[in-house]
Amino acid sequence: FFLYFYFMKTEQLHTLYLNCTGVSTDTRKVSPNTMFFALKGANFNGNTFAEQALKSGAKYVIIDELEYKYSDKTILVNNVLETLQMLASYHRTYLNIPIIALTGSNGKTTTKELINAVLSKKYDITATIGNLNNHIGVPLTLLSMSRDTEIGIVEMGANHQKEIEFLCTIAKPDYGYITNFGKAHLEGFGGIKGVIKGKSELYIYLTENNKHIFVNADDTLQKEKLSTYLRKFGFSETDENYFRIEFIEANPFVTFKAENTLFHSQLIGKYNFTNLCAALTIGKYFKVELNAIKQALENYAPTNNRSQIIEKRTHKIILDAYNANPTSMKAALEHFSDLKDEHKIAFLGDMFELGDDAKKEHLDISNLTNKLNIDAIYLIGENFYQTKNASTKIKHYHSYEALKENFNSIKIKNATLLIKGSRGMALERILELL
């Protein structure tokens, strides 16, 4: 019996999976008849939770350590993570549905949600939940798709070379879109050239397999990379060879025009214009009616600390604290500076994973804020703390705790606030201080 399950083929495991209600990697989220994968991490061993998963209702538990084989419901494999990935890839082939993959330095999750909203007007869509976009999240997304799914949307994140390439071998996308090439994960990618190379692995997979690519034709770098590739469909403000979309304004919400139709979104900042354009363009490609696309885009409201507008007491708050890198920080600040609001205050947290570029990039942002139309800037974190300058409108705090201790001395009344920083800074906590 042990040998049979040890050498079980992916096809056989898939048959068992089809008789389950889904998959889980967390015993706290196990529901009856799920297949539990006992993954390992730096500080935990999922095998030790095998018995608990069965007690919680799991139909099968996938393990890779023999001592945790409690019954015929525990299936021993060589490597649980690799088994999860192989099963997901097999399931993707089994379903044989169109898969849209997207990656990029900024705006991935927002763009994914917008595409999901648009395509859901006509199709049964299964998309990445939240930002489950890595070597574990992509397989889980694929395994959440069923026979009812008509189109799958898979977000792909990466902070090293070859990660996107690997995720493509699992998801085997038919379509792809790169939001942009920005200064994110510079440490892992080895600088901006490494970012471009790493994200472009999606284009390489698609072109080598003669698949379709969606492109922002106003992004010079992307346009050049795909200049000779024919299977592309894109958007542009000026190029007649692509779907024309006109930017109107972002004060603060993005308004734009296509096919003589005006769109009023609930997203702030021109940096969200291309995200909206991508969703509109992909909707057009998949023959969603324009009025349905308009309804989807206008009804979409950001959540989870991503460019949210919050009214709190006498303040209007732009909460953009989900993540930050130099590219997204610069875009957010320039948009904030352009707002016509009278009293503007920015709370900015450190940007992580910048490696040797951290000192320069934080200094550049600090210098930029001093030139912009912002009344007061509070820089928070060890990296920003080292950028101290003589500007009277900039204050530095080496941590959130230091800001909290001194917050009563900060006079804020009838202000518009921007709160932005990397996820590890958790600057949404500033809402509590207000």
* pLDDT tens digits along 167-193: 999 999 999 999 988 666 767 667 778
Record the pTM.
Answer: 0.87
Q: Facing residues of 214 across strands?
A: 177, 233
| Cβ-contact 170, 176 below 8 angstroms | no
Task: Walk along the chain (434 residues) and give the pLDDT tens digit of each residue.
Answer: 344 444 568 999 999 999 999 999 998 889 999 999 999 988 889 999 999 999 999 999 999 999 988 888 999 999 999 999 999 999 999 999 999 999 998 889 999 999 999 999 999 999 999 878 999 999 999 999 999 999 999 999 987 889 999 999 999 999 999 998 866 676 766 777 877 888 889 999 999 999 999 999 999 888 888 888 999 999 999 999 999 999 999 988 999 999 999 999 999 989 899 999 999 999 999 999 999 999 999 999 987 777 888 887 788 999 999 889 898 999 999 999 998 888 999 999 999 989 889 999 999 999 999 999 999 999 999 999 999 876 789 999 999 999 999 999 888 888 999 999 999 999 999 999 98
The amino acid that residue 128 corresponds to is T
What dotted CATH number matches 2-79? Answer: 3.40.1390.10
Q: What is the pLDDT of residues 361-394, one digit of tens each?
A: 999 999 999 999 999 999 999 999 999 876 789 9
CA 91/CA 85 separation, integer angstroms:
10
The CA-atom distances, in angstroms, between 9 and each of 27, 58, 192, 252, 400 are 25, 21, 42, 55, 51
Q: Facing residues of 318 across strands?
A: 309, 418
Say whether 118 sits in a helix, a strand or coil: helix
Number of C-beta neighbours around residue 349 at 10 A = 28
Residues with Cβ within 8 Å of residue 63, at least 6 apart in sequence: 38, 46, 47, 50, 69, 74, 75, 76, 77, 80
State CA 107 to chain mean position distance.
6
Q: What ranges make up the beta strands (E) of 223-343?
A: 232-236, 243-244, 246-250, 253-258, 261-268, 308-312, 315-320
CA 332/CA 352 separation, integer angstroms:
17
Question: Considering Cα of 403, then 381, then 342, then 268, what sign does the dihedral take?
Answer: negative
- Per-residue model confidence (pLDDT) at position 130: 81
- Per-residue model confidence (pLDDT) at position 184: 66
- Per-residue model confidence (pLDDT) at position 3: 43
Q: Which two tokens stand for residue 388?
A: 């101290």
| Cβ-contact 205, 350 below 8 angstroms | no
Q: Where are the domains of the chain?
A: 2-79, 97-299, 308-433
CA 92/CA 369 separation, integer angstroms:
47
Superfamily of domain 97-299: Mur-like, catalytic domain (3.40.1190.10)
Q: Is the peptide bond between 326 and the residue preceding it cis, with omega within 30 degrees of 0?
A: no
- Per-residue model confidence (pLDDT) at position 1: 38
- Per-residue model confidence (pLDDT) at position 43: 87
- 6 DSSP 8-state letter: H
| Cβ-contact 430, 348 below 8 angstroms | no
DSSP string for residues in 381-399: SHHHHTT--S-TTEEEESS
CA 278/CA 177 separation, integer angstroms:
8
Say whether 163 sits in a helix, a strand or coil: helix
Number of C-beta neighbours around residue 129 at 10 A = 13
- Per-residue model confidence (pLDDT) at position 334: 93
The CA-atom distances, in angstroms, between 329 and each of 197, 203, 251, 303, 433 are 22, 26, 18, 18, 22
Buried b (16+ CB within 10 A) or exposed e, 196-216: bbbbbbbbebbbeeebbbbbb
Same topology between domain 97-299 and domain 308-433: no
The amino acid that residue 134 corresponds to is N
Say whether 65 sits in a helix, a strand or coil: coil
Superfamily of domain 308-433: Mur ligase, C-terminal domain (3.90.190.20)
